[in-house]
């Protein structure tokens, strides 16, 4: 009997989970429509808040919605596994045993690293460490990220790290992220870093070339970009979008780049009414709306930072598939407690299969819990000393 057949016949606990999802989906829709607005993302996210926390205050204006939620609680209790529930819709043609086996295999495997979308050339001094990886995660059907961590073939002391996150709402974001990364790699592998006076012009030319290719071949495609170029003289860091670059110094994490996103600009750069802590931004409903990226428009406001090499012990780049799920404190803890070879895998695991985290209660705005695995997760790391 398939999941769908069991669902129709009202059998099996995991099918009750599916019924609960349907109930909450409908309850959220009823509530949002009554309030005068409706966002499709609420259907995928708010169930976690209701089921795990048991808080139905957001539905207090709609009796039908409240009854649907209460019915869900009565069916299965107060707990549902978020990852199982997220997978049900994609595997409803499977039998229940096949579904559970598939689910358990995904978790046991930790992450399905997409090696074709992560380029690594690890060579140079043995006391330095480079790594990168990207994971599709358990929910997304495609991986639109691209990551890079390579050493210059001309000068082994020069490193390039990149994370590009293809914009999911655009056409073929995976192509945009790959094009930008490959353009940087082609330039990096042939560039002599003896003179850095024209480095910013070089970077802007790379981005413009990549943008032109994206526009010609994949119109309406877009990607974020965060990169670090470590040379013997200094380290150049750049950013467009909401992927991030951090430095690590004395086991402490410091975000160098600024997110080009509505929530960052509204609450961090230009707070209108009140200012959120940075970690709270990932719980806001519009945290994925970008204000800049590499796309079909001719100009971007590229952020460029020049960092002295003695100001850090390591560099970490991440996509928002990591920073939307786990806090900077958690990232810092993972870096501190794991061997350097295990850091990337641990970051991707926690982002794809970790436990949801919850915001502090806020009376001003609706804050949503995080849902691990909701996005592709990618990271690149360079450690000078350990």
10 against 148, higher pLDDT? 148
DSSP 110-136: ---B-GGGEEEE--S-TT-EEEEEEE-
Q: What is the pLDDT of residues 58-88, one digit of tens each?
A: 444 455 555 554 554 443 333 344 445 445 5
Which of 4, 60, 67 is CA-nearest to residue 34? 60
Q: What mean pLDDT is reported for the chain?
A: 79
- Domains of the chain plus CATH, in order, are 3-108 (no CATH), 115-383 (3.60.40.10)
User: What is the average per-residue pLDDT within 253-278?
Assistant: 88
pLDDT for residue 181? 97
Q: What is the pLDDT of residues 97-115, one digit of tens each?
A: 666 566 566 655 545 678 8
pLDDT for residue 7? 45
Can you tell me the distance from the alpha carbon of 264 to that of 327, in angstroms, rounded to the nearest whole number?
A: 15
Confidence of residue 233 (pLDDT cuts 50, 70, 90): very high
Q: What is the pLDDT of residues 313-337, one digit of tens each?
A: 999 999 999 999 999 999 999 999 9
pTM reported for the whole predicted model:
0.75
pLDDT for residue 82? 44
Can you tell me the distance from the alpha carbon of 115 to that of 133, in angstroms, rounded to the nearest whole number?
A: 7
Which segment, 25-39, 131-145, 156-170, 225-239, is predicted with the most confidence on average?
A: 225-239
CA angle 62, 65, 66 (to 5 degrees): 85
User: What is the average per-residue pLDDT within 354-369?
Assistant: 69
Tokens representing 341 are 């070879």
């Amino acid at each position: 009997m398939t999941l769908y057949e069991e669902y129709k016949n009202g059998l099996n606990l995991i099918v009750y989970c599916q019924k609960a999802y349907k109930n909450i989906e409908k309850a959220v829709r009823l509530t949002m429509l009554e309030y005068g607005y409706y966002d499709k993302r609420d259907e995928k996210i708010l169930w976690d808040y209701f089921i795990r926390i048991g808080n139905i205050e957001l539905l207090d204006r709609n009796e039908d919605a409240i009854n649907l939620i209460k019915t869900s609680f009565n069916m299965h209790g107060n707990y549902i596994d978020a990852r199982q529930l997220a997978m049900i819709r994609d595997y409803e043609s499977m039998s229940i045993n096949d579904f559970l086996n598939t689910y358990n295999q995904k978790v046991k495997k930790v992450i399905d690293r997409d090696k074709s979308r992560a380029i690594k050339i690890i060579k140079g001094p043995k006391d330095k460490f480079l790594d990168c990886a990207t994971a599709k995660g358990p929910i997304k059907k495609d991986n639109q990220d691209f990551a890079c961590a390579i050493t210059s073939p001309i000068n082994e002391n020069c490193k390039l790290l990149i994370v590009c996150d293809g914009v999911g709402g655009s056409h073929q974001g995976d192509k945009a992220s790959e094009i930008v990364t490959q353009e940087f790699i082609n330039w990096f592998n042939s560039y002599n870093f003896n003179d850095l006076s024209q480095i910013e012009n070089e970077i802007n030319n790379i981005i413009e070339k990549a943008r032109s290719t994206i526009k010609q071949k994949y119109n309406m495609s877009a990607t974020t970009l965060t990169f670090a170029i470590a040379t013997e003289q200094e380290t150049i860091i750049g950013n467009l979008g909401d992927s991030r670059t951090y430095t690590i110094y004395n086991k402490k994490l410091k975000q160098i780049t600024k997110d080009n996103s509505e929530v960052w600009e509204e609450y961090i750069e230009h707070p209108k009414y009140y200012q959120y802590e940075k970690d709270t931004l990932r719980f806001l409903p519009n945290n994925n709306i970008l204000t800049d990226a590499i796309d079909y428009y001719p100009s971007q406001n590229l952020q460029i930072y020049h960092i002295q090499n003695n100001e850090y012990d390591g560099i970490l780049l991440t996509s928002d598939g990591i920073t939307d799920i786990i806090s900077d404190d958690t990232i810092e803890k993972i870096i501190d407690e794991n061997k350097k070879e295990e850091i990337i895998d641990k970051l991707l695991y926690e982002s794809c299969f970790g436990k949801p985290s919850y915001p502090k209660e806020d009376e001003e705005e609706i804050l949503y819990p995080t849902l691990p695995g909701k996005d592709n997760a990618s990271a690149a790391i360079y450690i000078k000393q350990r």
